[in-house]
Structure 1
């Protein structure tokens, strides 16, 4: 059995005081000492600074050789970082006729866990506008296909910014609560298993988020739970387990007046192992 700590955070590219925020994110990553990290809205030249001194191996979507989507230089892309050297097996482009300008790609990587073998790690970022749930539904279906193409015996880990609350169709589909296009799947929501409270990750109380919430939502005191860590189902991984022992927020309080991002991060502690045969 291996203990595994998973972290996801939307970095908020270079908005605000980018240097102070990067230093804070780096310090918190050092403190948390995660094994698997998903980062969203990060520019390629930000990634080395964010993971410096953490012992993590990082890959930015720009390093994968995939076609660069539009607006990456402004909004950043998706990156992953892992304790053990990983191997990217596919990079999913979630653009389409209904989402032509989505700048974020979804990397899928195999991460070797000591004495257990490879685990599939998927790091999505989906369409962000409140009226784009139809796009997110299509993207959720593509994520389940991506998992099916590369999953291993160990339960898949999928972490990122899904831009949808738990009652949205895309999230309900991923957690097995409803079908989409005649299809169904199931992942465990780590927060639902072991988190306490609403788990909001995008809140007007955070001054970094307040401007965009005022522009996109225009309702006072708005809070949403957009950031998730999902764990593959026993139905897809009958010979292994990934028990969620704890889930909590991170990067959710200012340090010396600096907020790390416009999102709060999520941390999950897992116990991963193979069942006896």
Structure 2
């Protein structure tokens, strides 16, 4: 029997594309000089002029000040969740902000008996892009402890189920603090390098596609991070890439694309000795479009 050759469908060039800037930052709630830090974050958001923003560890009352004057539409998890998890009043929660009015379609609570101390919920929102239709934007935060990779594995599996429930034709965009470096099983799973629980998936890691250097976002080079690094790692030098922008794969979105043109650190420099957060953020520039079968 002669084997058949599988030929991918021919696609015509896209007729409409949209350039997007996606940004993520762990805000560090109200630690340190919160007033000065909020002003720095707001100024950087204005300068970056992003289209989709994922924010972690944000108190509800902080959010209006963070996005003031940016033109972004913002939603905090407290506005969509049926109940608020413990510690959210101290450590804040997840928020998203988008250039165009969005619609939150699900708020996912990733706590469990193996991860009871995660007050940051995951927001899933549909965002209309001019000329292209809606894109799914996921803003998660996973368990933070160094020994919590089993919990993070469970959480990324749930993120993929969340994507499947609300996925659109356009590549899903996912941004947040994943508390795991690129070699961790949870990140390897998301980038298609290993399976979990008999399952596999694939997202592009924007930094891997278009970033330069190690891209560390939680590091003792940032004095705001040193206290918690000493508490959690107890090492004088600690550098990890924990914050990501992920882009849906052509395997899940065969008739569209999201080309990553650039990925860079953001919120990573002090002003007058004030650092914006204990994390550095990530900004990724994309070009998104639909392909039409010939």
The bucket for the TM-score relative to the shorter chain is: over 0.9
Determine whether 1:243 maps to 2:253: no
Instruction: Write the mapping of 1:1-277 to structure 2, written as runs, cut at 5 A.
Output: 1-277=17-293
How far the C-alpha of 1:221 sits from its partner, in A, is 1.5
Deviation beyond 6 Å, 4+ runs, structure 1 = none
CA contact (8 A) 2:107 2:121 kept: yes
Looking at CA atoms only, which structure, 1 or 2, has the larger radius of gyration? 2
The size of the alignment, in residue pairs, is: 277
CA-CA distance at 1:276 after TM superposition: 2.2
SS at match of 1:107: strand
Unaligned runs of 5+ in 1: none
Q: Distance in 2 between matches of 1:154 and 1:236?
A: 9
Question: Could you state the TM-score of these two structures normalised by the residue count of structure 1?
Answer: 0.99
Shift of 1:142: 0.2
5-14 or 91-100: which moved more?
91-100
Preserved CA contact (<8 Å) 2:100 2:127: yes
How much has 1:210 moved relative to structure 2? Answer: 0.5
Question: What are the Cα deviations for residues 148-171 of structure 1, in whole angstroms up to 9, with x where unaligned?
Answer: 110100000000000000000000
C-alpha separation between the residues in 2 aligned to 1:100 and 1:130?
15
Of 98-107 and 8-17, the range deviating more from structure 2: 98-107
Counterpart CA distance in 1 for 2:82 and 2:134 is: 23
Q: CA deviation at 1:242?
A: 0.2
Judged with a 3 Å threshold, the aligned counterparts in structure 2 of structure 1 residues 116 and 70 are, in CA distance, closer, same or farther, namely: same
